[in-house]
Amino acid sequence: MRHPLFQTRITELLGIRHPILCGGMGPSVSDARYVAAVVNAGGMGFIVAAGFPDPEEFRAQLRQCRELTSGKRFGVNLYLSGQAKAVALLQEQVRILAEEEVLCVETSGGSPEAVLSSLREAGIKVLHKVPAVRYARSAARLGVDAVIVVGNDCGGHPGTYGISSMVQAALAPREISAPLVIGGGIGTGSQLAATLMMGADAILMGSRMLVSEELWIHRDYKEQLVQSDGTQSVVVKTGLRQHHRVLNNDSAKAVAALDAAGASEFERYRPHVMGALTTQAYRTGDSRLGMLDYGPSVVFANAVQTVEAIFDEVLDDAQRAMRRFEGLRCNAQL
């Protein structure tokens, strides 16, 4: 594990060595083994609760992660939905989080207001993820512990505004006083250094981490990502205003055709966006079907590596960026 280079409000809040967060990826993709590798490398990861709807299986994931980290604290991703069935499951999951003494949650989707008090009572820190600064302001007013702002470059769900990560990184620190994380299209140490210089406290990586050895997804798909250049990223489901940045495969092309035709009924989309297709693609390595979260930062994923090796590359690159910055400074008095 590399020695720490930076001390920020996020490293202090979460007790981590590096200001690097690895966001929850897909149902069950970010599992105990992967999250433990992130934590052991000095960052913070989040087990995706939605991937383990059975309460006992979810609890088993938490306990496995604690064992693999030798007792280090870790995080869980909670997707906030207003559907009655989802609300009941979320309440059960929050209860389990409290019992298992999870350190923090990455919340996304709806407002965290309904679960905020329960999480606070359990001593769980809340990092709420949003796709635009306007939502970050609302989250900060609720009193979350930190805000994650992602730009249009993020794989998964970048929101409907299409605001670049570069703009988000420059604007959010001016508007938000809470500890701040920036994500979307980030996969290098120079981006980490630049983001911190702009006023953020950490970065969030997702697509860059898809080639991690600790992820259970098929090796063939990881090798495909290594060979790709990021231009295969496309945003679909715009007709439903549920913008989704994914790999431009057969399913994505079918969904894009529905978007172009003005479709707005979910049932027309369902055959192409079912989660079972995505899981099958990850398990088999056949990526022709399924909504596979895919951001342009996969261009930085140049080899299948352990999480720790990826972190080492990012941190070494950040050091080079800082040295370059110092070399550019003018000695003359202005």
pLDDT digits (tens, 9 = 90+) for 195-233: 999 999 999 999 999 999 999 999 999 999 999 999 999
CA distance 183 to 293: 14
**pLDDT beneath 70, residues of the chain:** 332-334
The pair phi, psi for residue 316, each rounded to 5°, is -65, -40
Which pLDDT score is estimated for 153? 96
Secondary structure (3-state) at 181: strand
Task: Give the separation between CA 143 and CA 136, rounded to whole angstroms.
Answer: 11
DSSP one-letter code for 184: S
The type of residue at 177 is: S
Q: For the whole model, what pTM was predicted?
A: 0.96
**Cα–Cα distance between 38 and 291 in angstroms, integer?**
24
Nearest CA to 166 among 151, 181, 147? 151
Structural domains of the chain in order of their starting residue, each with its CATH number:
9-209 (3.20.20.70)
In sign, the C-alpha dihedral spanning 106, 155, 177, 198 is: positive
Q: Provide, rounded to the nearest whole percent, the portion of the chain with pLDDT above 90.
A: 93
Please, which residues have CB within 8 angstroms of residue 318's CB and are 6 or more apart in sequence?
5, 6, 189, 190, 192, 193
pLDDT on residue 332: 56
pLDDT at position 86 is 81
Helix (H, G, I), strand (E, B) or coil at 196: helix
* CA end-to-end distance (rounded Å), the chain: 40
* Calculated CA dihedral for residues 275, 280, 282, 288, nearest 10 degrees: -90
What CA–CA distance (Å, rounded) separates 277 from 283? 10
How far CA 72 is from CA of 15, 35, 203, in Å, comes to 10, 11, 21
Residue 85 has a pLDDT of 78
The reported pLDDT for the residue numbered 214 is 98
Where does residue 180 rank: exposed (0-12), middle (13-18), buried (19+ CB within 10 A)?
buried
